[in-house]
Structure 1
């Protein structure tokens, strides 16, 4: 017997009945299961910082954050260096996907190559978002690029440097972001503001130096040490 679905739902409501539904459980992510088993060992940065101060480009932080601009909303992913607080790469897109994360990584890798004349060998720290637990991200950075991946176990609390950057960046540039009416205008604005941040922003945690000044100092010290 063919019965209209509305009638069935009305009868179920009248007699306070419900249909048994089978919800297909998502397949478990083996990478997430590995992190659960690793516990605090998944956060490689915490262990390194308890021993010494990292060199330039040795510890990198990243994460996604939404940006509201004049044309709508995008997801913004910068990559920051621990030693210098410099933004060494970024990407924007309409969804926080792994393609965007890999685009930012390629920009960061190219920047490191121009500064040190060698490929990066870093610990990349982030949360347990879908993009960072994907096989594309882990396989590329860990297996193909030879980087080490570090995961925050308590969300933003264990990624304070990038979260602090997000907070200040949005507050300082809110009006400018709303003036950008297209994705192209937004991209140009971000490039200009990040350049200003790297070259002119003084940080109390960096002894009131700019990220660029800290980078020159760190690379100079590194050269002396290597020699």
Structure 2
């Protein structure tokens, strides 16, 4: 592996925290995470210099700017919350928007709702004086007749047959109008039995189980396994994706995110590729989650000439090594714990994986030594 490595800002920050906040020495941390000690010392010095030069508080002259930013934040927050409650009326008519504004006028400012919904305040006030138009009153009368004919049919008729009954009774209305009124009121025709759902095959992108539980490769960077787990914080869930080298059980790449998307697993795999720089042909095993069947995941594997492998549907034993790591992580570090923030959880994960699990924790499948030590012995024996 090349010694000229480019380290990410997140990696540098977490490594510096081990020295400044947790009290480890530079030599100890550098040895555990595989960084030259003079490099780590430079990171620590830069962090301390930046901390000393950062201002402790805003100058008094910036108070007006702070007030402006607070007002802007209040406006943006209000405009963000209005669509959350009005998403069902954004595509409806003006009168539906006016009705929403009348219900929420004590919760949001009227000018803000007019701006977000795209209506005029004068029109809203005019609607308040005469909320029901002639057309709306006619719809209410017609709806009463629709309910009468629909109930007379035993709840069987749809809008087409109800329209025929109305025309026979002397009403002049289109079936589209009847359909709109019945849909808004929740009136529908009686339909037959639905077909029994059945399995129609896996999602697009699923590949076969090439690994087939062969969890003991003969060399590093031959087989990797990856999976996702979740961690509780008071800010919400934090999702962790990890990539493990099955030869030594070392975590060669990992990433965290508040959402469980394909970007999360790609970040973990990119970290593994950046860290190990493997030769083409690495077998990457995962489950059939939508993150691993996505086109982005498949394109990345193809671009780096990696071979995909997936567990069988609903069979967690096909990826038991990754599940075993998550079990050890939760039993040894985060059992019955809720982190205050996602950042605190990520920092503790760095401490567990990079400072303990990879360089120190003894592993039974690695001959009772740590994954890093096990790979060092392999390198010595192969030379």
Shorter-normalised TM-score: what interval?
0.7 to 0.9
Structure 1 counterpart SS, 2:352: helix
1:45 corresponds to? 211
**How far apart are the structure 2 equivalents of 1:63 and 1:216?**
26
Distance change >3 Å, CA 182–CA 119, structure 1 → 2? farther
CA deviation after TM superposition for structure 1 residue 184, in Å: 1.9
2:263 corresponds to? 99
Question: For the aligned residues, what is the CA RMSD?
Answer: 3.2
1:56 to 215, 220, 224: 220
Per-residue CA distance 1:39-84 (angstroms, 9 max, x = gap): xxx111128x39x733101100111111113432111111111011
1:67 corresponds to? 231
2:244 corresponds to? 80
2:204 corresponds to? 30
Higher relative contact order (CA 8 A, sep 6+): 1
Count of aligned pairs between the two proteins = 199
CA deviation after TM superposition for structure 1 residue 29, in Å: 4.0
Distance change >3 Å, CA 106–CA 79, structure 1 → 2? same
TM-score, reference length from structure 2: 0.46
Conserved? CA contact 1:79–1:89, under 8 Å: yes
Q: Does 1:184 align with 2:350?
A: no
Higher strand share: 1
Structure 1: 4+ residue segments shifted above 6 A = none
Q: Could you list the runs of 5+ residues in structure 2 that have no partner in the other structure?
A: 1-138, 157-187, 195-199
TM-score, reference length from structure 1: 0.75
Q: Does 1:111 align with 2:275?
A: yes
Structure 1 counterpart SS, 2:333: helix
Q: Could you list the runs of 5+ residues in structure 1 that have no partner in the other structure?
A: 36-41
Conserved? CA contact 1:177–1:186, under 8 Å: no
Conserved? CA contact 1:112–1:119, under 8 Å: no
Distance change >3 Å, CA 62–CA 19, structure 1 → 2? farther
Q: Does 1:219 align with 2:379?
A: yes
Distance change >3 Å, CA 95–CA 155, structure 1 → 2? farther
Conserved? CA contact 2:244–2:250, under 8 Å: yes
Distance change >3 Å, CA 86–CA 177, structure 1 → 2? farther
Conserved? CA contact 1:84–1:214, under 8 Å: yes
Conserved? CA contact 2:248–2:365, under 8 Å: no
2:315 to 150, 155, 168: 155
